[in-house]
């Protein structure tokens, strides 16, 4: 039994990585022709603006996917493309690693020390296992969708109407979490079970507009976590979920347009912009949640969703 426990954490980590690469490689490999046909090339200024949108909305619980799709459409810029969007997500991951590097070293280093000592009650070990296990649900169900329901997902689920409805639904769930959550547990009281439960909450992020950070923070509040702790754990849980598609998107972008400065320079500008504004958003949100609630995001999501539906109904915004 001791041997199985000793290899439990490495196996889960490896399995999360393998399945994540599988799921996020599929859309890139399977939609190459479509992406080339529908993508609009961004200039440096547009890339910087979209980097700001990505950075400001990835970790604040209002959905980066919804805003990255709505903003360029409203501004008449067109679709920046999957590869570009995935690449600038790497800026957000860089910001997380930059902001939490001391905590990450402590958790990862502590987990392996605990593993070596067979101390499976160590808090760092529990958090690391929680992140590894919590990554698996979104990978598994995301892979299921990509293999069996990809056309339906791309053509129906990713529409602006669905994004608006998801934003409204998450505003209701987040409001309930604010009302019902006890908010009594801090970061030191996290367990592997919290990672598993938050990982299932992260499944809502499969629906564009639900928001990965919004769904995980909401889940954390329902579990009785303090607001700041729920946000911090959400950010750590998001590292594997955001990193791997970003790497695949970067690989696809470089293979398709390597040497094209009109593509490369805006992409780099967007990535840098995303990193800077992601870092600022993380710092702001954690400080904000120390003393304030999520109600501002609840109302924003509600108004955003209703506004999108109104713009679609009047023909100002295409339901694409």
User: pLDDT tens-digit profile of 198-227?
Assistant: 999 999 988 888 999 999 999 999 999 999
What are the pLDDT digits (tens) for 253-297?
A: 666 655 566 777 888 899 999 999 999 999 999 999 999 999 999
120 three-state secondary structure: coil
Contact assessment for residue 38 and residue 261, using Cβ atoms and an 8 Å cutoff? no
Contacting residues for 220 by C-beta, under 8 A, at least 6 apart: 194, 198, 201, 229, 230, 231, 233, 234
Contact assessment for residue 40 and residue 156, using Cβ atoms and an 8 Å cutoff? no
185 three-state secondary structure: strand
Contact assessment for residue 208 and residue 164, using Cβ atoms and an 8 Å cutoff? no
Report how far residue 176's alpha carbon sits from residue 145's, in angstroms, rounded to the nearest whole number: 28
pLDDT tier for residue 28 given thresholds of 50, 70 and 90:
very low
Give the pLDDT of residue 157: 75
How many other C-beta atoms lie within 10 A of the C-beta of residue 63? 29
Give the pLDDT of residue 259: 55
């Amino acid at each position: 039994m001791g041997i199985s426990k000793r290899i439990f954490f490495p196996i889960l980590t490896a399995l999360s990585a393998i399945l994540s690469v599988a799921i996020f490689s599929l859309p890139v490999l399977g939609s190459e022709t479509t992406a080339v046909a529908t993508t609009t090339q961004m200039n440096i200024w547009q890339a910087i603006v979209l980097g700001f949108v990505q950075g400001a909305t990835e970790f604040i619980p209002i959905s980066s996917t919804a805003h990255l799709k709505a903003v360029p459409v409203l501004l008449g810029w067109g679709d920046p493309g999957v590869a570009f969007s995935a690449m600038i997500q790497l800026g957000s991951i860089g910001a997380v690693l930059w902001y939490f590097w001391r905590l990450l070293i402590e958790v990862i280093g502590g987990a392996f020390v605990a593993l070596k000592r067979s101390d499976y009650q160590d808090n760092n070990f529990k958090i690391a296992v929680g992140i590894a296990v919590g990554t698996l649900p979104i990978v598994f169900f995301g892979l299921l969708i990509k293999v069996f329901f990809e056309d339906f997902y791309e053509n129906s689920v990713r529409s602006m109407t669905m994004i608006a409805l998801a934003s409204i639904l998450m505003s209701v769930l987040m409001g309930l979490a604010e009302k019902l959550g006890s908010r009594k547990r801090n970061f030191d009281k996290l367990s592997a079970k919290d990672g598993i439960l938050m990982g299932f909450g992260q499944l809502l992020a499969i629906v564009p507009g639900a928001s990965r950070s919004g769904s995980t923070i909401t889940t954390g509040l329902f579990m009785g976590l303090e607001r700041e702790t729920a946000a911090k754990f959400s950010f750590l849980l998001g590292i594997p979920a955001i990193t791997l598609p970003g790497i695949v998107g970067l690989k696809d972008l470089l293979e398709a347009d390597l040497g094209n400065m009109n593509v490369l320079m805006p992409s780099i500008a967007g990535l840098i912009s995303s990193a800077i504004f992601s870092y600022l958003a993380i710092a702001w949100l954690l400080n904000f949640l120390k003393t304030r609630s999520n109600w501002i995001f609840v109302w924003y999501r509600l108004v955003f969703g209703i506004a999108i539906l109104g713009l679609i109904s009047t023909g100002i915004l295409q339901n694409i």
